[in-house]
Amino acid sequence: MRVHPGQVLARIVAWTRRWQAILPLLAAELIVWLGFGALLPVMPLYFTAHGVELQTLGVVVAAWPAARLIGEPIFGWLADRTRRVPLMVIGNISAGVFMFLPLVFVGVVPFSILRAAAGLATAMYDPAARGYITDATPPDRRGEAFGMYGAAQMGGLLLGPAIGGVGASVFGGVAFIFVFGALATFLAAAAIAIRVREQPHAVGERSRPLELTEMGGQPDHLQARSARASEGGDAASDSPAAAPASLVNRWLISAILFTIGGSFAFGTYEVIWSLYLQRLGAGLELIGFTFAMFALPILVLSPWFGRRVDRSSLTPFLVAGTSLPVAAALAYTVIRDPLLSVPLILVESTGAAVGGPAVYTVIASGSPVGRSSTAQGIVGASGTLAFVVASLAAGAAAGIDIRLPFYLFAVVMSVVSGAAFVVGWPRLRERAATMAAAPA
């Protein structure tokens, strides 16, 4: 069937209008992850080159999530009770400063302090950003929205290592990578300050009313919600399945358990991945390439899987999202050629592309009205705790056998994911039945 240029243009305009509230934030997220992606492959190597032992490396890496563990619930609570845009701007600016300073202050103690400070800065930004996306998108589009959110992150992770590698070659050292990382977060802060428009939180009396003429337009679902609220309606009643009244609910507990499993992977790999490949004989170019390959399936597939998540049962996506990373972790331990890590990392990343939007949908389903950033902060803190434990455990286990952390992660993710399915199964089954009964 022939598609006319006018139809293509109309689709682009319709898509842009649908996502106009979150597109600037997605662009900022891409910029942030350009810097983060450039830094991620080199940080463990930089730390160990400046006197950090392998066992101590876990402590340095854990300082970042440990600070997030404290900060995310606090800043998530704050983001539900104040304007989110200033929190996102200040968080990014602060993170940029602390990304640069390891070039100036070196050693275990300075590295740990600066990593902790950067963790607090990102704890200020992340719950506000995810809560913003939750409230700025209708419930039946949140899987797709968070799929694009993950794709924006992975777009940065895909391009960041390449930019960092080329810049380091041209300018003769890793200092460029730290400077680039800092500048990227500053640019993201500017983009948020200029382009992201504050949205009224999806909450009745909890949030101070915002002047729409001052803050810009709202998405259609929030306009309707605001109209109902002004008429005395229930702000939570726009969904057939009412939002939970409490943060203690099956959806959110299940999301916490799924997040613990995924974050245990990140904590493990941030400590050992670059070092493991280096021991297999990989150079910095291949190490950076593996990070880019991890980003590729998420960048390409997450929005598509997000749309599928919005229209069907969550269970198959959650199963794939947990089983593929476990299978890849076990396979990593038997390879002897570092090039074989590339197809395995594509398998692992496909699991993240499938499971990520589903987990974000579980979080959104368990968020009480007006407390989306608080819920995001609590889930983020649980994942951060897992990151801390994984970082410390990976450093200690790698001192015994560099492959041991992979086995440990596989066991932990299998156990907590199984528990998540047990806790969330009644809600997952109800949602699947609702989706099956809905008209096509």
- In a 13 Å sphere around the CA of 100, the CA atoms on its Cβ side amount to 12
Domains in the chain: boundaries = 19-197+243-437
* Contact call for residues 260 and 387 (beta carbons, < 8 A): no
Token pair belonging to 406: 């992979």
Tell me which residue of 134, 137, 143 sits closest to 304, measured CA to CA.
143
Tell me which residue of 222, 184, 190 sits closest to 203, measured CA to CA.
222
Tell me which residue of 267, 180, 239, 181 sits closest to 367, measured CA to CA.
239
* Contact call for residues 223 and 56 (beta carbons, < 8 A): no
pLDDT band at 200 (very low <50, low <70, confident <90, very high): low
In sequence order, the 6+-apart residues with CB closer than 8 A to the CB of 185 are 31, 32, 35, 92, 93, 95, 96, 99
SS3 at position 80:
coil
Tell me which residue of 199, 247, 246 sits closest to 222, measured CA to CA.
199
Neighbours of 413 (CB within 10 A): 24
Task: Looking at 137-249, list the stretches that DSSP marks H as alpha helix, in order from N- to C-terminal side.
Answer: 142-171, 175-195, 212-215, 220-230
Token pair belonging to 174: 């890793």
- pLDDT tens across 12-39, in order? 888 788 888 888 899 988 898 888 888 8
CA distance 82 to 70: 19
The mean per-residue pLDDT over the stretch 334-361 comes to 93
- In angstroms and rounded to an integer, the radius of gyration of the C-alpha atoms of the chain is 21
Range scoring the smallest mean pLDDT among 2-11, 103-112, 407-416:
2-11
CA distance 66 to 64: 5
Residue 419, pLDDT score: 97
Residue 39, pLDDT score: 85
Q: Note the Cα 405 to chain centre separation in Å.
A: 22
pLDDT band at 2 (very low <50, low <70, confident <90, very high): low
Q: What percent of the chain has pLDDT over 90?
A: 34
Task: Looking at 314-371, list the stretches that DSSP marks H as alpha helix, in order from N- to C-terminal side.
Answer: 315-332, 341-365
* Contact call for residues 274 and 47 (beta carbons, < 8 A): no
Residue 233, pLDDT score: 39
Tell me which residue of 321, 380, 361, 421 sits closest to 147, measured CA to CA.
361
**Cut 0.75: pTM above it:** no
In sequence order, the 6+-apart residues with CB closer than 8 A to the CB of 303 are 144, 147, 148, 151
* Contact call for residues 69 and 384 (beta carbons, < 8 A): yes
In sequence order, the 6+-apart residues with CB closer than 8 A to the CB of 144 are 303, 306, 307, 309, 310, 357
Give the Cα-Cα-Cα angle 117, 122, 127 (nearest 5 degrees).
Answer: 140
State which of 132-141, 193-202, 204-213 shows the largest mean pLDDT. Answer: 132-141
Residue at token pair 């939570």: 236
CA distance 163 to 219: 35
Instruction: State yes or no: pLDDT of 139 exceeds 90.
Output: no
- pLDDT tens across 52-103, in order? 887 788 888 888 888 888 888 899 899 888 899 999 999 999 999 998 999 9
More confident of the two residues 244 and 440: 244
Range scoring the smallest mean pLDDT among 161-165, 339-343, 358-362:
161-165
Residue 105 burial class via C-beta count within 10 angstroms: exposed 0-12, middle 13-18, buried 19 and up: exposed
* Contact call for residues 329 and 409 (beta carbons, < 8 A): yes
Tell me which residue of 297, 367, 303, 360 sits closest to 325, measured CA to CA.
297
CATH number of the 19-197+243-437 domain: 1.20.1250.20
More confident of the two residues 122 and 139: 122
CA distance 182 to 114: 13
The mean per-residue pLDDT over the stretch 267-295 comes to 88
CA distance 286 to 182: 24
The mean per-residue pLDDT over the stretch 177-189 comes to 91
Taking the CA atoms of residue 363, residue 393, residue 333 and residue 318 in that order, the dihedral angle to the nearest 10 degrees is -10
Length of the chain: 440
Tell me which residue of 300, 301, 293 sits closest to 339, measured CA to CA.
293
Give the Cα-Cα-Cα angle 86, 358, 425 (nearest 5 degrees).
Answer: 125
Range scoring the smallest mean pLDDT among 22-26, 110-114, 119-123, 232-236:
232-236
Taking the CA atoms of residue 409, residue 412, residue 417 and residue 420 in that order, the dihedral angle to the nearest 10 degrees is -140
CA distance 255 to 266: 17
CA distance 302 to 263: 18
Measured distance between the N- and C-terminal CA atoms of the chain, rounded to whole angstroms: 23
